[in-house]
Structure 1
Amino acid sequence: MASEAKIRANNKSNKINTTMVCVRLSYNTDADIIKKLDEVDSKMGYIKELIRKDIQTQKK
Structure 2
Amino acid sequence: MASEAKIRANNKSNKRNTKTICIRLSFNTDADIIKKLDEVSSKMGYIKELIRKDMQTKKK
TM-score by length of 1: 0.98
Taking only the aligned residue pairs, the percentage that are identical comes to: 85
1:35 corresponds to = 35
Distance 2:33 2:12 in 1: 33
2:58 corresponds to = 58
Distance 2:41 2:11 in 1: 26
Distance 1:23 1:46 in 2: 15
Q: Deviations over 1:26-56 (max 9, x none)?
A: 0000000000000000000000000000000
Count of equivalent residues: 60
1:20 corresponds to = 20
Q: Structure 1 segments of 4 or more deviating over 4 A? A: none
Name the SS of the counterpart of 1:8 in structure 2: helix
TM-score by length of 2: 0.98
1:7 corresponds to = 7
2:47 corresponds to = 47
Q: RMSD over aligned Cα, in angstroms?
A: 0.3
Which AA in structure 1 matches 2:5? A
